[in-house]
Every structure is written in structure tokens, then in C-alpha cells.
Chains A and B, each alone.
Chain A
Amino acid sequence: MEDNNNELKVGLEIHQQLSSSTKLFCKCNGFNQLENEIYFKRILRPTQSELGETDPAALFESKKSKLMNYKANINTSCLVEADEEPPHEMSEEALDIALTISYLLKSEPVDEIHVMRKLVIDGSNTTGFQRTVIIATGGELQVNNLKIPVLSISLEEDASRIISKNRDQSTYSLDRLSIPLIEITLAPVKFKKEETEKIALALGRLMRTTGKVARGIGTIRQDVNISIDGKNIIEVKGVQQLDMLTNIIEFENQRQINLLKIKKILLGRGMTENNFKAETADISNIFNNTDCKLIKTVLSNKGKVMAIKAQKFRGLIKKEDYEGTRLGRDISSLVKFFGYGGIFHSDELPNYGITENEINKISIKIKNESDDGFIILAGNKENMNITVKSIQNRLCQCIIGIPAETRTPTEDGKTNYMRPRPGSARMYPETDIIPVKITDDKKLKIKKILPQTYEEQINNYKNNIGLNDKLSIQIFDSKYKTLFEKLIKNIDLPANFIAAQLTETLINLSRNNVNINKITNNELEEIFREIEKGVIAKESFEKIVEDICESDHDINNIINEMKSSKLSEKDIEKIILEIIDAKKEIINEKGEKSFSILMGEAMKQLRGKVDGKIVSDKIKKLLKK
């Protein structure tokens, strides 16, 4: 293959939680109640396939049976999430939302949907598989003048929330498990730096036009499929922040370019897939009196040190033109997958207490010549053979090209090896649920009530409802979009006021660590109704929300308290006169300019009780006297 023709192609896979009233396969709903009172432990075991696995890492992954701890709240999870009861029928509401999004993407729904079980045995699903179903295929996403083809749209269960994880066990909370998730797979397209984020943003907004997708941290997640050789796809799982996408793609591009360069050099040095032999040797004896602390500890714990010959690899293990893309780092994260801390390699030695003398002995032992390198793996004996085999395979793959694998993003925009890429094969039917027909009636019904586009909705906010530009976008993107649209129809308050409270005020409270998730839409509506009636001041919105979220008091009590502390005109005048009296000197000195000082003082006492406009009018009036 000619390596110069490589073209970076990137395909996005977006996972978005739907805000349906129940989970996908039971009648549980929601988050918000995080106190867990149910605990149970499980061991997940691999299921055997009719076809033997050949990749040692895949085999190892499937053989790791780990202890899983599950925590659950009886209000947000039931026997279905605990895998103690067969799933109920699929939520029709979730299916309708997914179909709506499919039509927005001009995707064609399938005639009959079949729920599948996709094996995932990391414990994030209590069953050991994720239920997932293809809803539609084909279609396109239009982003300005660009058309990105859609491959498929599926509806699936979200996984449990991980609480902690170590080598032997993982702990998960079941609240998130089985919340409906829509997965949209876009076709890989030629990568343009400035476009990827735009594509992701446009897709996010397209879904939000339905008003039925969840908002907030962890409710949307991108996987990115990145390939430069057109054959082997690297899947980077779980990119949460859009602004990291470009960095991650660039890193992967460089890492893959580096791998292709290594391949070229190896071929140039005469290596082929057939003559590659990575001999190994137990080199524990060489380190009997070593100064390398790490190896010393390993040996004193009855561990073992192995050398793996890296034929013709001299200089290539550390080779990197872009930070973090060296092969050594990849091999290191590969061995971490098997539970080892890392590796030493010939390109970085002598170092870490390993001496020239020890290196020479290793070279003799594995018969290294001048172009050759080696990898050292030290640790417990248990998984040594399978790990050594994986390193050998990884080295051999360098002659072939880029290995398809699943990688995980790091915070600084790099990627790490996570596991071998699961084949499409690891899926089989969910036999507890019979296939569901998507009838022509249903299709028609959904097509009839498709939501307006993002642009149409924003224009409507601006032109018909009278929101300003900033609030239009903020309310569209917020989780209160649907509530807002309901309120402006039913409540006679300025749209800008309602939108500002639902976005800016709530965000402010949230920044001050008030748990605003505690307040329900009904409670918010109640507050606006009381303001509409004039029994409480507009300014009290923030204070009431804060009280509801922070205290155990009932909303009615809180509102009543506000009402009773509502001041009469006389009370307000009295307070302002007292302030004017106290600030006499400043008033005499500054005249009308003292207004802002007086206003500040007055609002200290009156905030949340009286409309600011009333206060300022009163001050102006009383000052004139």
C-alpha cells in the first residue's frame, strides 16, 4: 500500500439521553434521588461464542470475571434494572422521540424493530449486555452547505453510573441505567478542522428542536471514529466536551501517521509479517543485584521479568514527531489493560536504575543485533504469558499498519488504549421482547407533528415572542425549553423575564452550589403564577428557588412566608426615609449622584421583597422632597 495517499476521515457517533417520562424498558423514572438504599454484588461471566476468539486481549477481556457492586434507589430503579425481572415493553414515548429525530434527519425508519443484546461485561449493565435497537437507516445532516450522510439511528439503554473502580471490583449506581439514549452514527467524512465541532453542535441542536432530549452534564456523549488508512478504524469513546474533539482528532491523526512511518522504516529494514519473530526470555536472573527499584520490588514479591525482542525496532519505540504519539506509550497502556504498571524499552535505557551492563546481558540473551530493540515487562506471573503475547502481537502489527482498537480520551486531548475493538458479531436478539412493527399510521402521525427547525424556532422566539438574541439561544439550549414554551402561553409575564429566570438566574444559583435539580417544573410554574398574581415580587424568584432547593420546606410554606413579608408602601417609604436620613451628609455633598449609593443600601434590605423599579421610583420621589 502506498502510504502517501492517506486521508483523515472522521465519523461522529452521538449519544443523547432522551427526556422521556420513564426508562426504556420499565416505568421507573429519573435521577435526582441519589441516596441508595439497596446494595448487591454480582459476578459477570463471559458467554461463550460459537466462534473462538483469537485475539489474546479479547480473550483476556472476556475471561476477566470481576466483582461488581451495585447501588440502587428504590424510586429510580426496579427489578428490571437489577436484572431480576424481564424487561417490560419498550417505552413508546422514547420510540416516538427517536422516530421524530429520524425524520428530522431524513432517515428511513425500518419496518419492524428488533431489540438486540450487545455484550458489555464491564459491569455497566447488570445483565452483561446493553439492549439496543436500530430505528432507522440512511438520511443526512445538513450543516450550512455541507451534507453529512447518516448511517444509522438506534435507541438504546444508557449504562449505570460508575462510582469507583479498581483491578478487582467496580461499583456502579443504577439510577442512570436504562434511561433511553439515541445513538446517531454519521458516516466518516474527510476531516476539516473547523467543521467537526460545527457538525456536533448542529446535530445537538437538531435533537433539541424536539424539546425532548435531556440536558446537563453526561446527557450527551460523542464517540469519534478516526481512520487515515481507510481500513482500520480507531474508535475514541466518550468525548464529553465538544471543544476537545479537535485536539483528540489531531492527536489520533498524528499517532496514526507515526505508526505508518514506523511501518515504512521497518519494511525498509527488511522486516515482513512472515519473518517477524519476537523471541522472549525470562531475564529475572540478570536483575539479581539490580539498582532498579521497581524490578527489585517485583522480584522480592516473587514476580518475574521478561524481555521481548523488538527486531529492527531500534529508535522506533520512542519515535514521535507529536507529543505523546510514541509506540512506547501505546505498549505501556496495553500492558495496563492486563493489570501491569507499564514497560521499560531499549530506546529509553539505561535509566531508572537499569545499567549498561544489564542491557548488554539482555541483548546477549535475546541475541539482539544493532538494529534491534527490546521491551521489558516486570510484574506478577499470573497474566505474564498472555501479556507478553499481546506485546508480541502489537509489535507485529506495526509491520501491517494501524490496529483497529477502542481508545479512551484523556483530559489533555490525547487518547489511550482501552480494549480491542469489539466486532459487530457480539450482538444477539433480546428474546424477552417481541419485535415491534412501525406501522404506516405511526409514521404518518409522527411526520405530521415534526418540530420546526432550530432557525425557525429561534426566529419565532425573537420575532413573535419578543426574546432578545442572547436569551433566545440560551432558552433553546436549556433544559427548560419546553417549560418556557408552556409558560409563555399560560402566564401573563414578559417572555424575557421568564426566560432570564429559567436560564441566568438558575445558572447563577447553580454556580453558587445550589442544587437546582431539586426543583420541579411544577414548582417553577407555581412561582411564576404567584408572581403573575402580584402576591409576591418578581425579585423573590431567586430567593424562593434557593429556599426550595436548600431547605426541606414545602413550596406553599415558602411562598406564604414571602407573602407575609411583603411590605406595604408605607413600610417601604419608612425604610427609604431612614436610609436618606443616615446618608444626609453624602446627599448634601453629591446631590443627585448619591442616588446609586442610596439604591444599593435600600436593595440590601429590600431585595427579594420589592420590585427594584418601585424602590428606585420611591427614592427619586423622596429625594426631591
Chain B
Amino acid sequence: MNTIYASLLGLAGSFILGTIIAVFRITGSKPLNWFGTAYVEFFRNIPLLLVVFLFYLGLPSLGVTLNGFVSGTMGLAVYTSSFIAEAIRAGIMAVPPGQTEAARSSGLSYVQTMIHVILPQAIKLVIPPLSNQFINLVKNSSILSIVAGFDLMYYGDVIATDTFDTINTYLFVAMFYLILTLPLSYGSRVLERKLARHD
């Protein structure tokens, strides 16, 4: 059950974070550019395991103790958001610059232009890479098993070691992950087709 919660929260969190960071990376503001680039390069280039350990074992030394589920999900969202930021940035770059110019000259502010004109088009363009990231996120949620996050993989480990029936237990766990990820791939394909029809 925690796998589903972690996936949903991670999905929402990484999407929002990723979009914000993507916008940071392409705005005119130098400090925001710099921050966005540092964020993406840092979290994209270290192992997910380390990101999660940072939240689980590192934060307590700063006086913030988060349990395995929360730190695992946060680590997952932050890690995935760096990939999503890159995907969305690519999408934004692919929207013809004429769109921005037209929106700005019709009186919309920069933020309004982004939210109402550019992002909707950009996100449509990047649905395939985004759905890849979301599927990865669901699978990567198995990282919670390392920090006692009580997810699917955690229980899989516990049952496998209790019953000694390792292969069958893990096959069963794999089936549950498929139940979660297959509808996601299918859904993204349907969404892609539907949005294509509106063009």
C-alpha cells in the first residue's frame, strides 16, 4: 500500500518540482538559472540510494528526523524531478519562440505566458519521456525497502526471508509492480493519442 502512496506523492511532487526547476533553467534571471542547473546536475548525477540516505540519515544531524516512508518518498520526488526538469525544459525549447512573442505582445506577463501558453504545449510534447520517468519512479519506490518504508519490496524481502521461498516471492512482487506500471504505460499512450487528435 505504501508503494502506491509513495508513487502518487512522488509523482505529484516530482512533477511540480520538475516544472519549477525547468522554468528556473530557462528564465532570464541568472541566479535562478544557476540554481536550476546546480539542482539538476547534483540530483541527477548521484545514486538514488544516496539521495534517500541523505534524507533518512543526514537530516537527523540537522535536527529534522523523518521516518523511512517520508524520507524515501521525498528522496524519490527530488531525484526524479531532476530528470523531469530536463524533459520539460526540452519541451519548452521545442515550442516555437513566436508563441512567446505573440503572448507577450498581447499583454500577458512572463508568468502568465508560461502557465497559459508555453507549458501546456511543452508538456504535451514531452508526454512520452515523462511517462518513462513516472514508470521509473514507481519502480524506484522499491528504494523504500532499504529505509524501512514498509513498501511492497520491504514486505517482499521480509516474506522471502521468512519463508525461504525467494524466487516465488520476488516473482509475486514483480507481478504487483506490473499491475502498477502497466496501466501507467497504457494510460500515457491513450493520453498521447487523445492530445494528438486535438492538434
B is a partner of A: no
Residues of B within 8 A of A (CB): none
